[in-house]
Amino acid sequence: MADVPGVFQRRIVIGAVFCVAAFTLVGLRLVDVSLMRGDGRSGFEDRTVTARADLVDRNGELLARDLPVQDLYARPHVFWNKNEAARDLAAATGADEGRLRAGFANTKHPYVLIARQVTPAIESKVMHLGLPGLEFEPSVKRYYPDGRNAAQLLGVTDPDNNGVSGLELGLQDKIRAADDGTPVITSIDMRVQYILAHEIAAQRDTFGAHAAGGLVMDVRTGEILAMASLPDFDPNGRSLTGEDTTRNIMAQDVYELGSVFKIFSFALAFEDHTMNLDEVFQIGQGYKIGKYTIHEAERMPASLAARDILAQSSNIGTARIALRSGGVRQKQFLSHLGLLAPIRSELTEQRRPLYPTNWGMIETATIAFGQGISVSPLRFAASAAAIVNGGRELTPTFIKTDADRRGAQLIKPQTSQQMRDLLRYVVTNGTGKNANVEGYEVGGKTGSAQVPGEHGHYIAHALRTSFFAAFPIENPRYLVFVLMDQPHGIKATGGFALAGYTAAPLAGRVIARIAPLLGVPNTAPPARLADGNS
């Protein structure tokens, strides 16, 4: 007969059982954690979220920063009611309920992603559900304190904190390399950005334009101080509603810009000595080239001096001047200014210019006044900067720099001086009068382009208006370019929607507000006070 275990032996057995159970639980927990970390055994993704440096403007104002958040996962096998858990978690986090139901029903994967980048507020809602089997993993979310302002310019990151658009993508290497907490300093001046975006939004609303945008550039350093594109989007919301768009029309789209292109035709004429400003050209009401007839946007006199051809924006006069140099020379000159190649900058969004493969006589005439060739506003601005900055090449940059970055001499300094004088004349005596700002000596040029439609035809009564400005024009420091896509005439403008009524006053208001901030001295004569005897 076997011996009956004593009390001491029974205690040893019970202790051993408890030890085995404890080690089993620890082992299960280790398996649980390893699965949760995505070691490949569960089919769950293995993600590495890389921290990013802050983006700041040129004055140190915060533009983008990583915020600590958490990713939420669930072990659905411990839910007592999977459908009810899916409904409650979807309501608390904004996740798709159908996706959660499908994930919870899939027994092959013990873990299901509920939501990424969960904020403390959402975490609180989730915790109040009292559900078992929930796990929070540390993560980060990119935050943009200025919201919509400069949204397309700054861009966004994906859930793994990789830049996918804008400067977040274009400056990715710099942002990741600054792992010591040093911010990446951009060229943007948020004071200028606020003003530019505000004025563009107001003018777009006034004229009911489909879209609108603008930029401000330093013509010596190439720094982009501001760039706005409307409609925009909320980069913190990560979803588009209504007319929201992530598209940056100033860099991603190419346009036939119309009469602002005439500045290149006149610069070419100065370079080639094919005209002088006092020379009189016959204008008339139509100029036939083969089977085509060039018309004016507005009624013109029978003849105009060359300076007034630009000031009054005559298509026929500009075409006649350009044809003196010819198509081969015109194409070579525009290529020399960079207008036939995409722009290079830290902004990855770009498009190649569009221009005709057959560059004949009619193409030479229409390209002279900005129809038949399409470039991005950023590409135009970079080339236009060389027209006023002494004739030197300039590459735009979105990184702060104090250095004069003007490069190779593209046109003669004398040509640049002649163009500055002529652009000032456009504002004082021509279509740019509404851009004049007392004391800041603005020079510029209007552009009212027809809008291409389907099958190579232009849309009737549709215009794309723009204004190019530089100030102070005698020794320019800053360039402003604004664009309005299909504005509509209003009662105050007599129903007209040409650039002189829509884009020129917009540029003038922007300059009036940013010039004092940028330290440009106002040279307006002091006001004369009445002496009381008159």
Q: Could you report the per-residue pLDDT of 124-134, keeping only the tens digit for each?
A: 999 999 999 99
Domain boundary among 140, 159, 178: 159
Tens-digit pLDDT profile for residues 205-254: 999 999 999 999 999 999 999 999 999 999 998 789 899 999 999 999 99
Q: Which residues, listed in sequence order, are joined to residue 143 by a DSSP beta bridge?
A: 65
Q: What does the pLDDT read at residue 37?
A: 40
Domain CATH code at residue 472: 3.40.710.10
Residue 254 lies in a domain: yes
| Mean pLDDT for all residues in the chain | 90
Residue 32 domain-assigned (yes or no): no
**Structure confidence at residue 4 (pLDDT):** 52
Please report which confidence band the pLDDT of residue 389 belongs to, taking 50, 70 and 90 as the band edges: very high
Q: Are residues 451 and 387 in the same domain?
A: yes
Q: Look at residue 177 in the predicted model and tell me its pLDDT.
A: 84
Which run of H or of E encompasses 449?
strand 443-452
**The total number of structural domains that make up the chain:** 2
Domain boundary among 104, 134, 159: 159
Q: Using CA atoms in the order 246, 248, 249, 251, what is the torsion angle rounded to 10 degrees?
A: -150
Based on the domain organization, do 148 and 278 belong to the same domain? no
Q: Are 104 and 82 in contact (CB under 8 A)?
A: yes
Q: What is the pLDDT of residue 414?
A: 98
- CATH at residue 106: 3.90.1310.10
The whole-angstrom separation of Cα 249 and Cα 446 is 19
Please report whether residue 286 resides in a domain. Answer: yes
pLDDT for 35 beyond 50: no
- pLDDT of 46 strictly over 80: no
Task: Report which of residues 480 and 38 the model is more confident about.
Answer: 480
Q: Give the pLDDT band (50/70/90) at residue 529.
A: low
Does the residue 391 lie in any domain?
yes
**Whether the Cβ atoms of residue 115 and residue 141 lie closer than 8 Å to each other:** no
For residues 362-388, average pLDDT: 97
Distance CA(314)–CA(280), nearest Å, equals 13
Is residue 17 in a domain?
no
Residue 54's pLDDT is what?
97
Q: In 3D, which of 473, 465, 475 has the Cα closest to residue 441? A: 473
Regarding whether 71 and 201 lie in a shared domain, the answer is no
| Measured distance CA(339)–CA(321) in Å, rounded | 20
Phi first, then psi, for residue 253 (nearest 5°) are -105, 150
User: Does position 256 have pLDDT exceeding 60, yes or no?
Assistant: yes
Structure tokens at 534: 């008159």
Domain membership flag for residue 39: no
Residue 236 maps to a domain: yes
Q: Are strands 55-56 and 184-185 parallel, antiparallel or unpaired?
A: parallel
* pLDDT value of position 348: 92
- State the pLDDT confidence band at 48, using cuts at 50, 70 and 90: low
Averaged pLDDT, 43-71: 84
Domain end point (choices 137, 159, 181)? 159
Contact yes or no for 368/262 (Cβ under 8 A): yes
pLDDT for res 40:
37
pLDDT-wise least confident of 3-17, 263-277, 438-452, 467-481:
3-17
Residue 41 pLDDT > 50: no
Asked if 259 is an active-site residue, the reply is yes
Query: Considering the domain boundaries, does residue 310 fall inside one?
Result: yes
Catalytic residue among 139, 165, 187, 259: 259
Same domain for 147 and 244? no
Higher pLDDT, 169 or 116: 169
pLDDT confidence of 532, banded at 50, 70, 90? very low
Reported as a pLDDT band with limits 50, 70 and 90, residue 18 is low
Give yes or no: residues 89 and 225 share one domain: no
Question: Do 405 and 222 form a contact (C-beta atoms < 8 A)?
Answer: yes
Structure tokens at 400: 């702060």
pLDDT higher than threshold 80 for residue 27: no
358 three-class SS: coil
Comparison of pLDDT for 257 and 118, the residue scoring more: 257
d(CA 207, CA 464) in angstroms, rounded, equals: 12
Catalogue the long-range contacts made by 298-305 (C-beta closer than 8 Å, 24 or more residues apart): 298/498, 304/280, 305/277, 305/278, 305/279, 305/280, 305/281
- 207 and 281 part of one domain: yes
Cα dihedral 202, 203, 207, 208 in deg (nearest 10): -50
**Structure tokens belonging to residue 179:** 């792992």
> What pLDDT, on a 0 to 100 scale, did the predictor assign at position 328?
98
Q: Which helix (H) or strand (E) holds 465?
A: strand 458-471
- The yes-or-no verdict on residue 31 having pLDDT over 60 is no
Domain residue limits at 103: 55-159
Residue 454 pLDDT grade (very low, low, confident, very high; cuts 50, 70, 90): confident
Which position has the token pair 């350093």? 221
- CB atoms < 10 A from the CB of 219, how many? 24
What is the Cα–Cα distance from 431 to 445, expressed in whole angstroms? 8
Q: pLDDT for 399-421, tens place per residue? A: 999 899 999 999 999 999 999 99
* Kind and range of the H or E run holding 225: strand 224-230
Q: pLDDT: is 108 or 280 the higher one?
A: 280
pLDDT of 7 strictly over 70: no
pLDDT in tens, 168-194: 999 999 999 877 789 999 999 999 999
